[in-house]
Structure 1
């Protein structure tokens, strides 16, 4: 028996999965670590926590599975994107990592836009958003110049963990694309962007492919993890890129919808000359010389969690959603917009807030719960439509995440997207994508697409109901009007938020 390991460095925990050559998840184990918020809007973690918990997760994985370490041929990573890790010439971390969900960098984003103008979208292919890495570097440059002066390199979360495990420094293209320092189409660090902000290009690490061999485990790490020092370690990729690989999004027309805390619509793209002009993200894929376009709903599953915790705290999710299929499409004229944390696609607006519109005395808790699910799915439909407008024919969408666990929601996605929704037999998300990168790197398969044929198995297809799809098409038009008609109201209400 031979195995690979996929490691996903998340925001709250690291997850390790042991996968056989047949694509079966033999064992998995997670280890959590703390998140620190020293100031309002700040979000930081200690990079050493990632490394220590990863090693602990690997040890428990090997102990639980009782697999022979000699049978583990390789491992790779998926990681939370954008987080800034600054290290000195000896690889020592200089300050806590500033994470993707840290919002302190609004002024730096405006500075980037003013300085670069249209060049930002031409080169980096993405707008300047608080979550990205370059604004974080500029914040350190302004507020902690003594720290930046000591920095030899900046890394992203999974790259620091890989360094701690192997001693090898580098960054793959899919993660580098989320920094705003990469020339995405040409796959090189942009000297033009770096020079515009007086940053030495040497601050940027060596670029590698996601499936590239980056070394083997350091002897002391191997011993602590219960693995052999000869275990091969491959670069890995950004969590969304690995999620795409793990869902089989490895060819033209392939699209996925992931509903977790946030929601993501992601579609494979082979053309490097695509420029969504900031309406959607455009990143390098984990597959070599491929790309993907991606839209994000900031509060997808979070909207449903918020609703349950606020209005049905004692109920389980199963109880809250029980019988919801009996509520007709449109929730009796009740419409929800999931802007409770602002919005990303197609409206990059941190100030917009959510709405329930059309409430009357006949509405029950079930109507509200269904309208929340519909509103989340309408928001994701906006990303689907932008991709379709670029010329892609989306007739099939692979569903992953929490939104793939409820049959009513899967059918709702089919009806609102007007596309077949594919539910997978075993959905491990980014960790599976990381394992597939290791399997491909170990030369088990001639391509990631060939690997996907073995590792990924569809379980069920949900097809759109023509009558329901027509109802939702009309409701979607109303939904799209809400943002413009509530934007001014929300700006005026902002002064009253405490």
Structure 2
């Protein structure tokens, strides 16, 4: 039997999956690492921690593997997007990585709009200037850490730095690079115009490759540290959301991903490079060659539920918290929640807005609040689906992954609020499975990613929207959409009172 490994470099942990040619996950190992938060709005990590924990995970996997390490043919990657890793002339790290959820760059985002009009930025990069993206981080370093900026030989994205440490080769793939604001998404190349406008030497941008492209083999040193075979092939991999799409079979028109983790994502397959959403949703290169995807983001999806549990139900596990929520009627007995705990991304790119419970009553129980939170998260995700449909996209099949795919009540709620068929898969590995599939395709096991998906991805249950519920949720969604505008000014005025 032959095997491949998928390495999913997340924000809180690295997950390593070993999968055989049948698509069966034979081994899964996860290793956590910490965030570094020096002050409010800052979010960094030490890239050496990624390397250390990945090495530990792979060593443990090989030790537990009952076959010959030579049977593990390939490795590929999924990685957190937008993070900025800087290396010098000898490829030494120049500072900690600045992550996707770092919000220190509001000023730099405005500078981008001042130098490049919003219309021109969307024409080239297909995306607005947001604090999480890579270019604003580069500009922040340029302004505040000039001595470091002048030493930059390459900037890398998180999984690209990890792959460099495994292979000694520096590259970036299209799906991850599309989130930097330095790529011409339609032309699939670093944008000369963007680099010139911001005085960024294009030589610091890594060579671009396809996600399934063969990069090389692991180094002898890394083979010795982990026990992997020295000639194990390494493939580029992709952005976490692109890999999540691959690992969920979002590889043709009409198919959409609903990923609910700490944040939430609605991602829809797109063949055209020319569709215009006016920057209301993200538009990136897919991990599948010559394809794209559109994406909306809810910043505090699962985080909203985690927050409520931590503050109001610390001694309950999530199963207890969600138990009997199906007995609470649609609309949570007149209670609506907006999940803006850390601001919002889609459709409101607003770092100041904060969450609300609207309609609280002394008769409400804890279960009413939990139901309202689930509905509020799903309403927020539905904002992205609403934008897609308004722009003529067909959304008829939605595949859930993450925490939102584990609860029956929540899955039916998604079918009713999204007014779409929900297809639950046997495996919910998402990005990790996408990395595995890129390695399997790169190794030549399959002629296409679609063929790979036919073997690796298995639907096990379908949830259909219930007409009566759909109508109730449409009325509630209309109310939900008013809360942002009604509370925006209040939250701006409260901002100075926050810690």
* TM-score, with length taken from structure 1: 0.99
- Check whether the contact 2:247–2:434 (CA below 8 A) recurs between aligned residues: yes
What is the CA deviation profile of residues 344-371 of structure 1, one whole-angstrom value per residue up to 9, with x for unaligned ones?
0000011111111111122111111100
Aligned to 1:150, the other structure's residue is in SS state coil
Q: Distance in 1 between matches of 2:31 and 2:331?
A: 41
- Do residues 167 (structure 1) and 160 (structure 2) align? no
- Check whether the contact 1:26–1:65 (CA below 8 A) recurs between aligned residues: no
Question: After alignment, is 13-22 or 39-48 more displaced?
Answer: 39-48
- Check whether the contact 1:413–1:421 (CA below 8 A) recurs between aligned residues: yes
Counterpart residue number, 2:101: 101
Deviation at residue 197 of structure 1 after TM alignment:
1.1
Counterpart residue number, 2:439: 438
Counterpart residue number, 1:318: 319
Deviation at residue 52 of structure 1 after TM alignment:
1.9
Counterpart residue number, 1:340: 341
Counterpart residue number, 2:297: 296
Deviation at residue 449 of structure 1 after TM alignment:
0.5
What is the CA deviation profile of residues 128-176 of structure 1, one whole-angstrom value per residue up to 9, with x for unaligned ones?
1111100010011011111111111100111111111111111000000
Counterpart residue number, 1:451: 452
Deviation at residue 39 of structure 1 after TM alignment:
2.4
Counterpart residue number, 1:258: 259
Q: Distance in 1 between matches of 2:40 and 2:476?
A: 37
Aligned to 2:150, the other structure's residue is in SS state helix
Counterpart residue number, 1:147: 148
Q: Distance in 2 between matches of 1:392 and 1:138?
A: 35
Counterpart residue number, 2:8: 8
What is the CA deviation profile of residues 324-361 of structure 1, one whole-angstrom value per residue up to 9, with x for unaligned ones?
11111011111111111111000001111111111112
Q: Distance in 1 between matches of 2:388 and 2:313?
A: 36
Q: Distance in 2 between matches of 1:255 and 1:25?
A: 24
Q: Distance in 1 between matches of 2:385 and 2:64?
A: 41
Counterpart residue number, 2:413: 412
Q: Distance in 2 between matches of 1:5 and 1:475?
A: 44
Count, aligned residues: 498
Deviation at residue 48 of structure 1 after TM alignment:
1.4
- Check whether the contact 1:275–1:282 (CA below 8 A) recurs between aligned residues: no
Q: Distance in 2 between matches of 1:488 and 1:482?
A: 11
Q: Distance in 2 between matches of 1:471 and 1:453?
A: 36
Deviation at residue 243 of structure 1 after TM alignment:
0.5
Aligned to 2:224, the other structure's residue is in SS state helix
Q: Distance in 1 between matches of 2:345 and 2:221?
A: 43
RMSD: 0.9
Aligned to 2:316, the other structure's residue is in SS state coil
Q: Distance in 2 between matches of 1:319 and 1:456?
A: 30
Counterpart residue number, 1:71: 71
Deviation at residue 292 of structure 1 after TM alignment:
0.2
Question: 4+ runs of 1 displaced by more than 4 Å?
Answer: none
Q: Distance in 2 between matches of 1:42 and 1:393?
A: 38
Deviation at residue 65 of structure 1 after TM alignment:
2.7
Counterpart residue number, 1:23: 23
Q: Distance in 2 between matches of 1:34 and 1:355?
A: 29
What is the CA deviation profile of residues 160-211 of structure 1, one whole-angstrom value per residue up to 9, with x for unaligned ones?
1111111111100000000000001100101111111111111111000000
1:114-193 matches, within 5 Å, as 114-117=114-117, 118-193=119-194
Aligned to 2:6, the other structure's residue is in SS state strand
Q: Distance in 2 between matches of 1:38 and 1:325?
A: 42
* TM-score, with length taken from structure 2: 0.99
Q: Distance in 2 between matches of 1:330 and 1:67?
A: 53
Q: Distance in 2 between matches of 1:415 and 1:496?
A: 39
Q: Distance in 2 between matches of 1:19 and 1:62?
A: 13
Counterpart residue number, 2:214: 213
- Do residues 92 (structure 1) and 116 (structure 2) align? no
1:456-495 matches, within 5 Å, as 456-495=457-496
Deviation at residue 40 of structure 1 after TM alignment:
2.2
Question: After alignment, is 135-144 or 30-39 more displaced?
Answer: 30-39
1:28-67 matches, within 5 Å, as 28-67=28-67
